[in-house]
Structure formats: C-alpha cells, structure tokens
C-alpha cells in the first residue's frame, strides 16, 4: 500500500498556475526525491502535503486518509505523524540546541523532564550533535544547523519526513554527509520520505525513485539509471546540464 498518493493536484496564485495536475505515489518506507528547477513548484507541493497551502483541486491521501478539506483537528493529528526539515533549519536563535528540540516536543506531548531530555539527546546523538546540546544556533556551522534541524524533525518519531532543499548552501562534503544521514534514517527506521531538490547529485545519492517536476507536472519518474535514458526533452536537458555545470 502506498503511504502517500497525490492525484491531479492543481494550485495557482492569481493567474499564475504553479501545479498543473501533479500525480505521485510514494510507497511505505520509500525515499522519493522531487527534482526540478528553482521556482518549479516543489515547495508548494510540500506545503500542500501538510495543509499549509490548500490546492485548488485534486486529492492528497496519506495512509489512505484524504488531506484536502480535512478538519483542523484531524489535520493537526496528521501533522504529528510528519517531520518537516526546513531549508534553512529554522532554529530559534534565542534557544539552545536542546531547547529547540524540547520546545517542539513540548507542543505535542506532556512528558516528564527526564524522558524529554532522553528523547532529545537520543535524536541529537543520531545526527552526531549530542555534544552541542547547550550551544546556540549562532555558534553552529551551516551543516551543524542542518543536523539539528533534522534532529528536531525526528523528536516525535514521525512516520513521514519531508525535506525542503536539505543541502542548499552546503559545501559538497557536508552535503554528502547530510544525504548519508537521510539514507541511514530511511534504512534504519523505515520512515517514508519526500525530498525536494534541484541538485542532481543529491538525488542520485538518496533516492529510491526520482520524480521530475517541470511546468507544474511530473514529466518522468524512475530510478536515476532509468532517467538517464529517459527520452523526455526536459529530463535529457536537465541531466546534461547538471553533469556539465
């Protein structure tokens, strides 16, 4: 059974169409990467998935439940099953690393202090940041902030993880380390993941399946090897430019 199913999804802002009938299916435990140019609607697609943007028409089902039009109470319950890794980490500057994770946890669950700290340190340990628990975001490098952002997304042990351009702004070595964390997470926990990126190398490293978004539609999908042989003109052009750019 698919964990996520998106059918004929449309979204426009004023007279500007952004999504024009997106079709996607993500199997349980799969890592799907949506690949496309900047401004192609990738972030809009993620925000539709979590109900931050309401599509004009179409269907989004998560674990068989329709998301579009879901009452606020049910939508909030569904969001607790989803972790969101923001492009810029989106950490609170005035809070330590531990406080950033604990704040997110406290909003969803009333836990004893010892249990809360155990969960926070467990997630920080997973991303290699346990020793930075008392540091502030300004004291961390960009890659370290990304790791903390991932740890925060994990505190509720989500069934689904959404990554919004997770390696943007990172050097190649740090980007590869973040990608390896995402791969390890899928392998060890079975979480279902969708990542959006314009980075072909990141997609190659992490994806079970790549879906190529162009002009508001998924124009091709498959493994990296399959897409290398894809006849669609945009896919051929994108892969060629990414390799030589």
Fold of 1-81+192-245: Rossmann fold (3.40.50)
pTM higher than the cut 0.85: yes
pLDDT tens digit at each of 245 positions of the chain? 899 999 999 999 999 999 999 999 999 999 999 999 988 899 999 999 999 999 999 999 999 999 999 999 999 999 999 999 988 878 899 999 999 999 878 877 778 889 989 999 999 999 999 999 999 999 999 999 999 999 999 998 999 999 999 998 889 999 999 999 999 999 999 999 999 999 999 999 999 999 999 999 999 999 999 999 999 999 999 988 655 44
* Beta bridge partner(s), residue 59: 7
Q: Where are the domains of the chain?
A: 1-81+192-245
Angle between helices 113-126 and 97-106 (to 10 degrees): 120
Query: Are 29 and 186 a contacting pair, CB within 8 Å?
Result: yes
């Amino acid at each position: 059974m698919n964990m996520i199913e998106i059918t004929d999804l449309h979204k426009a802002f004023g007279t500007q169409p952004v999504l024009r009938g997106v079709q996607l299916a993500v199997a349980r435990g799969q890592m799907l990467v949506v690949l496309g140019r900047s401004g192609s609607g990738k972030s809009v697609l993620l925000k539709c998935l979590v109900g931050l943007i309401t599509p004009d028409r179409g269907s989004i089902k998560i674990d068989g439940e329709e998301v579009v039009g879901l009452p606020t109470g049910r939508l909030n319950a569904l969001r607790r099953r989803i972790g969101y890794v923001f492009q810029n980490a989106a950490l609170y500057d005035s809070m330590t690393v531990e406080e950033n994770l604990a704040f997110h946890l406290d909003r969803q669950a009333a836990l004893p202090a010892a249990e809360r700290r155990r969960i926070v340190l467990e997630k920080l340990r997973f991303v290699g940041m346990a020793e930075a628990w008392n540091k502030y975001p300004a004291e961390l490098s960009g890659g370290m902030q990304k790791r903390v952002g991932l740890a925060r997304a994990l505190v509720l042990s989500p069934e689904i993880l959404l990554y919004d351009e997770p390696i943007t702004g990172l050097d190649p070595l740090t980007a590869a380390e973040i990608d390896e964390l995402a791969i390890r997470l899928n392998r060890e926990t079975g979480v279902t993941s969708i990542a959006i990126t314009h980075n072909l190398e990141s997609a190659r490293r992490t994806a079970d399946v790549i879906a190529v978004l162009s002009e508001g539609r998924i124009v091709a999908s498959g493994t990296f090897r399959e897409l290398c042989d894809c006849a669609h003109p945009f896919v051929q052009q994108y892969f060629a430019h990414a390799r030589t750019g």
